Structure 1
Amino acid sequence: MHSAETKTLQVPGARLHYEISGSGPLLLMIPGAPTDAGALAGLTALLSDRYTVVSYDQRGLSRSTLDGPPEDQDVAAFGQDAHHLLTALGGEPAYVLGTSGGALTGLDLAARHPEQVRALIAHEPPIPELLPDATHWRTRFQEVHDTYRSQGAGAAMQKFIATIEGDHGAPPAMPDPAQMPPEALEMMGRIQGNLDYFFAHVLLPVLRFTPDLAALRSGPAPIAVGVGAASPEGVPLLAARALAEHLDIKAIEFPGDHQGLAIDAITSAEIIHDTFAGLAAPGQPSSHPTRPA
């Protein structure tokens, strides 16, 4: 296992916290809000013997601080941060893995700066604007935002989980803090501290993102879309299927649900590696063939 080196990068309006470890081709991993790089620590440990793995906290979250007061942040701002980070790392085209909201950042990066993306895996990108009932989802997420304003982050999180899962998923099981390692406890504390910023300034702008499908279809960067085998019929799963259809590809199945990359990092790491190998060398067989989800 390679120990991670922690660094910071000044970008317009923020200072990004990022972690780099391993050796080999560059792999940028982007978590979704309100989580941070810690959510991908398991994957980092498993992939750093094959890649130079870089993960980071998106602006305004956890250790990536804003230069000024909190303000609304959209996917374009997050995508530019990824662009600046890759530029600072030397400009080498990178493999990119984005999960949840981080997948939206990856899609924006691939559309605007395709020369920086060797290949992209977008795992369960929540894009309600791609769904036929987009107006319904706009209303539902506005209700989450309004719940935050009137009742606070705790009530908003409960409503957000029910909404993002389309009312079909069971509430996530909360881990026993007594059984969690110190690093996980620290991350949970950071996530808790991110909730006000997430609900006030990130939720609505990010969930109104529409990817540049024409640029993604015509661009040089190959793209894979991942779905969780156990994900409920909510926005992340439905949007991932819709995106795969728009890109005329078959979704790749990962273990578990929306959190599957963290919960089953061992299996996920092998699927990620095999997928990137297949994307970099089209036509080569993979031990995890794509299949409709």
Structure 2
Amino acid sequence: MTANPATSSTAHTLRIPGATLHYEVRGDGPLVVLVGAPMDATSFEPLADQLGTDHTVLTTDPRGINRSTLDDPEQDSTPQLRADDLSRLLAHLDAGPAAVLGSSGGAVSALALAQAHPEQVHTVVAHEPPLDDLLEDSEQLHAQTDDIIATYLAGDVTGAWAAFMEQAGIALPADAIEDMFGGERDPQQVTDERFWFAHELRATTRWRPDLSALRAASTRIVVGIGEESAGQLCDRTARALAAELDLEPEMFPGGHIGFVEQTEPFAARLRAVLHGG
């Protein structure tokens, strides 16, 4: 158990076919699940601590990332598999229906969960899901993604990240990319990064939601966008999803990782959204 000023968390593992999932539970109250891909439970700790004062908060490392290990490390991570993992976690905890905040690839996981298991989820807040397939230039984006993956797997890490940031519409100078992704790095970070490029990025960005199923589901769908994400790729994909579902996007503080950049106001906005505000 890890203590902090706001809440305390307990860490657990769940054995499922082909994998062992790491998950953490903190707080007390209505259940909220915070999920990323490739972001792990650690990325959501500050937000989980904020929400844990009046919610039960479930966080997890997605399959193949950090402490959630695969029997076959070369197995691809698809939104469908990650949704099934979340479903198994909720069933194991005998909890739900839950509210789920998914960010980036985790938003795709959350949408896949609502699509496959709507009875387990009463609300999905899909924060900037990278659903490239919903855009008119999807073929070009898919080709760019294939090139980015090939660049990374060929050993050009900073080149792959530079191309990824350019595609995402996130402006970073070359020296900043070199500082972030060149030189000595944490081995686990490198392992997770390789898994994301090799086994997760393509399947996540090419997943196309069943829009009819999402419209018909009992689950309330909220599409979230960062106030500082205007013009970025995930701003475009989130707006495309909202338009397909005839929804008005909800704006959140910060950018693509606003829950890290501006945790307290992000938590306040999420609470308001979950309460229908």
- Normalising by structure 1, report the TM-score: 0.86
1:89 deviates by 1.0
**Aligned pair partner of 1:203 in 193, 201, 204:** 201
- Kindly provide the CA deviation profile for residues 31-88 of structure 1, in whole angstroms up to 9, marking residues without a partner as x: 121x211111111010001110000000000110001232222111111111111111
The one of 23, 26, 29 aligned to 1:21: 26
Correspondence for 1:10 among 6, 15, 22: 15
Is the aligned partner of 1:37 residue 2:38? no
Runs of 4+ more than 6 Å apart: none
Q: Is the 8 A contact 2:165 2:171 kept in 1?
A: no
The equivalent of 1:241 in structure 2 is 239
2:117 is the counterpart of 1:113:
yes
1:223 is the counterpart of 2:221: yes
Q: CA RMSD in A?
A: 1.8
Q: Counterpart of 1:141?
A: 145
Q: Find the aligned partners of 1:153 and 1:23 in 2 and give their Cα distance.
A: 42
1:225–1:243 contact (8 Å) kept in structure 2: yes
1:276 alignment partner, one of 271, 274, 277: 274
Asked whether the 8 Å contact 2:118–2:217 carries over to 1, the reply is yes
Quote how far apart the aligned CAs of 1:191 are: 3.1
1:51, 1:91 → 2: CA distance? 13
Q: 1:122 to 1:189 in 2, by over 3 A?
A: farther
Aligned position for 1:57:
61
Q: In the alignment, is the contact (CA less than 8 A) between 2:76 and 2:199 conserved in 1? A: yes
What is the CA–CA distance in structure 1 between the aligned matches of 2:155 and 2:230, rounded to whole Å?
27
Q: Deviation at 1:195?
A: 1.0
Matched, 1:95 2:87: no
Aligned to 1:171: 172
Name the CA distance, whole Å, in 1 between partners of 2:156 and 2:22. Answer: 27
Deviation string 1:126-162 (CA, Å, 9 cap, x unpaired) is 0000001111111110110111122343332222122
Tell me how far 1:91 sits from its aligned partner.
Answer: 4.0
Preserved CA contact (<8 Å) 1:75 1:205: yes
Aligned to 1:76: 80
Amino acid at match of 1:219: A
* Gap change, CA 1:241 and 1:247, over 3 Å in 2: same
Does the 8 A contact of 1:213 with 1:247 survive in 2?
yes
Query: Which deviations, in whole Å up to 9, do the C-alpha atoms of 1:170-201 show, x marking residues without a partner?
Result: 11868x99xxxxxxxx9x76433311111111
Tell me if the contact between 2:148 and 2:164 (Cα under 8 Å) persists in the aligned partners. yes
For residue 21 of structure 1, give the secondary structure of its aligned residue in structure 2: strand
Count matched residues.
Answer: 265
Deviations 1:66-118 (A, max 9, x none): 01232222111111111111111104200100000000000000011000001
Which stretch shifts more, 151-160 or 263-272? 151-160
Q: Is the 8 A contact 1:110 1:120 kept in 2?
A: yes
Q: Distance in 1 between matches of 2:96 and 2:227?
A: 33
Report deviation, 1:232: 4.3
**For 2:121 and 2:273, how far apart are their aligned partners in 1?**
15
* TM-score, length basis structure 2: 0.91
SS of 1:4's equivalent in the other structure is strand
Q: Distance in 1 between matches of 2:221 and 2:134?
A: 17
Structure 1 residue ranges without an equivalent (≥5): 178-185, 279-285, 287-293
> Can you give the 5+ residue segments of structure 2 that lack an aligned partner in the other structure?
1-5
